[in-house]
Amino acid sequence: MRAVVTGGAGFIGSHVCERLLESVCDDVVCVDNFITGEPANIARLTGRAGFRLLVSDVVDGLEIDGPVDAVLHFASPASPADYLRHPLATLRVGAEGTRHALELAAAHGARFVLASTSEAYGDPQVHPQPESYWGNVNPVGPRSCYDEAKRYAEALTMAYRRSLGVDAGIVRIFNTFGPRMRPGDGRVVPNLIRQALEEAPMTVTGDGSQTRSLCYVDDLVDGVLRMLGASISGPVNLGNPHEVTMLELAHWIRRLTGSRSAIVQVPLPEDDPRRRRPDIALAAAELGWQPRTPVEEGLLRTIEWFAERRKGAGVLAEVAAPATAPSGLAVS
């Protein structure tokens, strides 16, 4: 089996490439333009038999020599800091990039899996969120470049399935964490771990009562591969129903790291969802999938990875200067 993974040098994409080579595929083609992906994420795969890196932007096209049995489309900035910095690139990869990936799958009769997102639900008014819920998205807000790019990508995927018979499926990925997240990518888990390890103030947006449901990356990848081996269209939620407030998460990470950092409040970003928890009944029924890694165990593995990276580098590579306390109200 030969698979093409767009965005394969990203956080989740690199784990997908690695798992495919370990258990599913003889050959994996990783496609990435490194706008947010990192060479270090695939360093252990480079030079390995069956692995090929193609440095390219899927927005410009996607031509692969030889057979293709699977296309997994993970290319896109995914953290708020990244897609707010690259809104046009985010919209283009959701549109033209998805079309090119679908065209590749159509040309080869390959199974196609779209990595969509829980952001398709926006700031949900239904809790937990089932796949049947159409969402509550602000189409003109600052986050819309990501939310609407993924919603369009879903619509395009279904159009190719219905009109051209492409064997296409959609997974909606909820908050995922683990090794290879960038310390400065703006997402809550790496932010809090980095701040805790540096003994810097740990920032919680708003009053910290907003919730997320955190899934360890190994479990998420298992769900993706189960979707790859299925024939259903989805969308299928992949995430951990274990819901935690951001203030609880900050205290949890501070305890696990043994940090003495203060926890401080900073303003809540515009359109930030108040609650987020997946209904995973469909994934359980259709894929036989559910997360197996306890959140605390996943956090400990992630903290260990960040600590080792920090120790090896002397300082975190993405921190240009010592952290200073942000303006805000100390809550601990």
As annotated, the active-site residues are 146
- CA–CA gap between residue 50 and residue 19 (Å, rounded): 13
Counting DSSP H helices and E strands in the chain, the numbers are 10, 14
| Cα–Cα distance, 252 to 263 (Å, whole number) | 11
How many C-beta neighbours within 10 Å does residue 109 have? Answer: 12
Give the integer Cα–Cα distance in Å for 73 and 169: 11
Burial of 259 (0-12, 13-18, 19+ CB in 10 A): buried
Asked if 191 and 79 touch (Cβ cutoff 8 Å), the reply is: no
Cα–Cα distance for residue pair 121/129, rounded to 1 Å: 8
**Adjacent-strand bridge partners of 53:** 30
Sequence-distant (≥ 6) Cβ neighbours of residue 81 within 8 angstroms = 184, 185, 186, 187
Classify 134 as helix, strand or coil.
coil
* Contact (CB, 8 A) for 138 and 122: yes
In a 3-state reduction of DSSP, which class is residue 87? helix
User: DSSP secondary structure string, 190-223?
Assistant: HHHHHHHHTTPPEEEETTS--EEE-EEHHHHHHH
Cβ contact 244:295 at 8 Å: yes
Identify each DSSP E strand in 33-165 by its residue range: 51-55, 70-73, 111-117
